[in-house]
Chains A and B, each alone.
Chain A
């Protein structure tokens, strides 16, 4: 069933791209293609976390990466009722409604046999306990071993060695799965490619500082979640450079949507249909930067590939103490001329939401309006369009009052 959605998504996007070749469409084609590939008979499928696993290591092997959270949670975009029906299945199997809808949907899809089989099931200890545990449950279902890249909260020589050591062992697992011999030079090349993409991303992030903001909607937020799937592959740099080119053209032509308010988005953007984008568009609100879309990682060192990938993991804004996260939020405030910050609060996302008071206090000190927008990523039963409208309109009113 999911396979059919991905195939339709892919063919639809490809048709769009022929008609109007946009970089963002190309990025989405890449995502849909991966999911379609994962169902092919001879594919070596590695389940992983696109947003938190150093994908350069996977790019050094001929594998198809598959993120069960992102893959299954595209479904509410197409059919939110069907997604609820599948979540119901997980709930009937005993999964509490207090568990994140992202994971209930994935577990439900698994029970119903909608998922491609995995050759290796990798995840990371971050962003959340829920994903690591869901990976274990799904691994039990398929009779596989769940492997978690454990990333500590502190950065030291010891923690870098610890994470790098795990990555070396994962490379051995990838050798076993693919039958390929690990090629250090190929990994180094993936790292060089990733560094070039990072530089292209830096240009894009700088262009987003322009007023009005050249990109409409929330691609920047979504890209920070699934764009890392392409890390280590040439196409990532190509797409990012296309985005830079498109942005420059828009700026040169002055072809941008009028902008009244600039906001940063914290945490995730819902995958189910919502009224958020419409409300923003009607009120001239641009989401100019996402918490994870910031260029937070440094250049990777190809001479120390495992250590630099370990450091990439350790520096993630969602790893470490709140100071690491606040530092990133402050950098966005400093760089992007913000009118406000919106924190999407999906109710089971304890690691993100539990910091709301601390973030709110930090933003208050900087006199930046802050909205906690509660809702749910993919469960329509837990999303209220009326409440969202009320909260957003009030918040826009606050921003208007400060102009």
Chain B
């Protein structure tokens, strides 16, 4: 049914957008737009993460129909239950649960590849476009190209002063993820070209450099608070920032589905599959690479996966002599006053 089925929404970085693109559909990373989650409270448990509640509140308000179909993964317990509720209460024609393993070894990759094949088959049936290997290979190349450009931009953030502000780069990444097609590709190219032309001035007051790390974030609130307080964010290890763009799929692999599975389950991994020690190893490497002065860890409230990692990470950074701050966030950044006070105090300690 050409014209009737155009876009697929997804909620987690584990969904290979390449498969959606190869089916001739537009992948959209879904944002919870609802400014209040009250509509979700009647359906979902109150102690659910605010991202999930915002997504559901928006969907109940008609936002769910912004996409012609949605793909869930077994990201967390909350997402599993959101899938159940979405199927029951949101009028979406195509609601799919993509089984993504919580391990990342060869067995998990093999199983995930089998699930990606099933997903491609189902999506192809729904869209009326059979997903062929060559179109998938093309989609992999395109997605890799975008990711490499974003990687290059992040890599240049190792300089001081930053070629692009942290908030601008974060917003650019969100544009790419939100699937605005030509618009976002054009804007990415333009920023990329400008940055490549820039020579490092090496001038300007040295600002405290903050590494932000956490789960999903699709509002620049935290970045703006940090920057307004006189610091900068060269790199952000978030589901919707540098961590997403670091993944490259092997274009020369014998089996494209296995390559996708290996890439999406592989590094960099989030708290869902990585141990706190593995996360610390990755973040501490970034601290060195980006000459970071302080680490700001953040988590959505009620996120069991990240919250359980926080004590270990705080302890390790503290023992390593790296200043660290942990702040919970409500996804919508409605509590920005309190957040601002804590972030400002943290940055002040870095400046001193």
A78-113: contact bitstring with B at CB < 8 Å (1 yes, 0 no)? 000000000000000111101110010000000000
Q: Does B102 contact A (CB under 8 A)?
A: yes
Contacting pair B311 A95 (CB below 8 A): yes
Among A44-52, A61-69, A135-143, A243-251, the stretch that binds chain B is A135-143
Contacting pair A136 B97 (CB below 8 A): no
Q: In the assembled complex, which residues on chain B have CB atoms less than 8 Å from the CB atom of A125?
A: 102-103
Q: In the assembled complex, which residues on chain A have CB atoms less than 8 Å from the CB atom of B82?
A: 354
Contacting pair B47 A130 (CB below 8 A): no
Contacting pair A350 B81 (CB below 8 A): yes
Q: Does A321 contact B (CB under 8 A)?
A: yes
CA distance A384 to B315 in the complex (A): 34
Contacting pair A166 B107 (CB below 8 A): yes
Within the complex, the shortest CB–CB distance from B109 to chain A, in Å, comes to: 10
Q: In the assembled complex, which residues on chain A have CB atoms less than 8 Å from the CB atom of B43?
A: 357
Contacting pair B271 A132 (CB below 8 A): no
Q: Does A282 contact B (CB under 8 A)?
A: no
CA distance A322 to B47 in the complex (A): 19
Q: Does B277 contact A (CB under 8 A)?
A: yes
Q: Does A162 contact B (CB under 8 A)?
A: yes
Within 8 A of A (CB), among B274-297: 275-277
The residue among A93, A100, A129 with the most chain B CB atoms within 10 A of its own CB is A129
Within the complex, the shortest CB–CB distance from B249 to chain A, in Å, comes to: 21
Contacting pair A354 B48 (CB below 8 A): yes
Q: Does A158 contact B (CB under 8 A)?
A: yes
Contact of B99 among A129, A159, A355 (CB under 8 A): A159
Contact of B271 among A133, A140, A356 (CB under 8 A): A133
Contacting pair B304 A130 (CB below 8 A): yes
Contacting pair A351 B97 (CB below 8 A): no
CA distance A354 to B304 in the complex (A): 14
Q: In the assembled complex, which residues on chain B have CB atoms less than 8 Å from the CB atom of A140?
A: 275-277, 312
A353-382: contact bitstring with B at CB < 8 Å (1 yes, 0 no)? 111111001000000000000000000000
Contacting pair A94 B311 (CB below 8 A): yes
Q: In the assembled complex, which residues on chain B have CB atoms less than 8 Å from the CB atom of A98?
A: 47, 301-302, 307
CA distance A134 to B307 in the complex (A): 10
Q: Does B42 contact A (CB under 8 A)?
A: yes
Within 8 A of B (CB), among A204-241: none
Q: Does B165 contact A (CB under 8 A)?
A: no
CA distance A11 to B80 in the complex (A): 43
Contacting pair B99 A351 (CB below 8 A): no
Q: Does B305 contact A (CB under 8 A)?
A: yes
Q: In the assembled complex, which residues on chain A have CB atoms less than 8 Å from the CB atom of B66?
A: none
Contact of A350 among B42, B78, B308, B326 (CB under 8 A): B78
Contacting pair B44 A354 (CB below 8 A): yes
Within 8 A of A (CB), among B304-332: 304-305, 307-312, 314-315, 326, 328
Task: Name which residue of chain B comes closest to A133, CB basis.
Answer: B308
Within 8 A of A (CB), among B57-83: 74, 76-78, 80-83
Among A17-25, A148-156, A175-183, the stretch that binds chain B is A148-156
Contact of A137 among B101, B311, B314 (CB under 8 A): B311
B84-121: contact bitstring with A at CB < 8 Å (1 yes, 0 no)? 11011000000001010111000110110011000000
Within the complex, the shortest CB–CB distance from A328 to chain B, in Å, comes to: 15
Contact of A150 among B42, B77, B101 (CB under 8 A): B101
Contacting pair A99 B304 (CB below 8 A): yes
CA distance A95 to B315 in the complex (A): 12
Contact of A357 among B42, B76, B97 (CB under 8 A): B42
Q: Does A348 contact B (CB under 8 A)?
A: yes
- Contacts A133-B309, A355-B81 given; indicate if A153 touches B276 (C-beta within 8 A): no
Q: In the assembled complex, which residues on chain A have CB atoms less than 8 Å from the CB atom of B312?
A: 137, 140
Q: In the assembled complex, which residues on chain A have CB atoms less than 8 Å from the CB atom of B311?
A: 93-95, 137
- Contacts A139-B275, A150-B108, A165-B107 given; indicate if A129 touches B47 (C-beta within 8 A): no
Within the complex, the shortest CB–CB distance from B2 to chain A, in Å, comes to: 30
Q: Does A276 contact B (CB under 8 A)?
A: no
Number of A-B contacts (CB under 8 A): 131
Dominant SS among interface residues on chain B: helix
Within the complex, the shortest CB–CB distance from A225 to chain B, in Å, comes to: 18
Task: Name which residue of chain B comes closest to A166, CB basis.
Answer: B107
Q: In the assembled complex, which residues on chain A have CB atoms less than 8 Å from the CB atom of B47?
A: 98, 347-348, 350, 353
Contacting pair B302 A357 (CB below 8 A): no
Task: Name which residue of chain B comes closest to A98, CB basis.
Answer: B302
Contacting pair A350 B48 (CB below 8 A): yes
Within the complex, the shortest CB–CB distance from B43 to chain A, in Å, comes to: 5
Report the interface size for chain A: residues with CB under 8 A from the other chain.
Answer: 46
CA distance A94 to B313 in the complex (A): 10
Contacting pair B78 A354 (CB below 8 A): yes
Q: In the assembled complex, which residues on chain A have CB atoms less than 8 Å from the CB atom of B81?
A: 322, 350-351, 354-355
- Contacts A166-B103, A350-B45, A354-B44 given; indicate if A137 touches B77 (C-beta within 8 A): no
Contacting pair B77 A136 (CB below 8 A): no
Within the complex, the shortest CB–CB distance from B264 to chain A, in Å, comes to: 15
CA distance A361 to B47 in the complex (A): 20
Within the complex, the shortest CB–CB distance from B80 to chain A, in Å, comes to: 7
Contact of A158 among B44, B111, B275 (CB under 8 A): B111
Q: Does A146 contact B (CB under 8 A)?
A: yes
- Contacts A98-B302, A159-B111 given; indicate if A150 touches B45 (C-beta within 8 A): no
CA distance A350 to B101 in the complex (A): 20
Task: Name which residue of chain B comes closest to A92, CB basis.
Answer: B311
Contacting pair A96 B80 (CB below 8 A): no
Q: Does A128 contact B (CB under 8 A)?
A: yes
CA distance A228 to B159 in the complex (A): 57
The residue among B114, B272, B307 with the most chain A CB atoms within 10 A of its own CB is B307
Contacting pair A148 B74 (CB below 8 A): no
Within the complex, the shortest CB–CB distance from A152 to chain B, in Å, comes to: 5
Q: In the assembled complex, which residues on chain B have CB atoms less than 8 Å from the CB atom of A103?
A: 308
- Contacts A98-B302, A137-B276, A357-B43 given; indicate if A150 touches B115 (C-beta within 8 A): no
Contact of B101 among A96, A130, A162, A351 (CB under 8 A): A162
Contact of B84 among A93, A132, A347, A355 (CB under 8 A): A355
CA distance A55 to B202 in the complex (A): 62
Contact of A136 among B275, B314, B328 (CB under 8 A): B275
Q: In the assembled complex, which residues on chain B have CB atoms less than 8 Å from the CB atom of A354?
A: 44-45, 48, 77-78, 81-82, 85
Q: In the assembled complex, which residues on chain A have CB atoms less than 8 Å from the CB atom of B307?
A: 95-96, 98-99
Q: A162-B110, A348-B47, A354-B45 are in contact. List 6 more A-B contacts (CB 8 A).
A: A94-B310, A95-B307, A129-B305, A133-B271, A154-B97, A169-B107
* Top 6 closest pairs, chain A to chain B, by CB: A94-B311, A354-B81, A133-B308, A351-B77, A322-B84, A162-B111
| B positions within 8 Å CB-CB of A | 42-45, 47-48, 74, 76-78, 80-85, 87-88, 97, 99, 101-103, 107-108, 110-111, 114-115, 271-272, 275-277, 301-302, 304-305, 307-312, 314-315, 326, 328
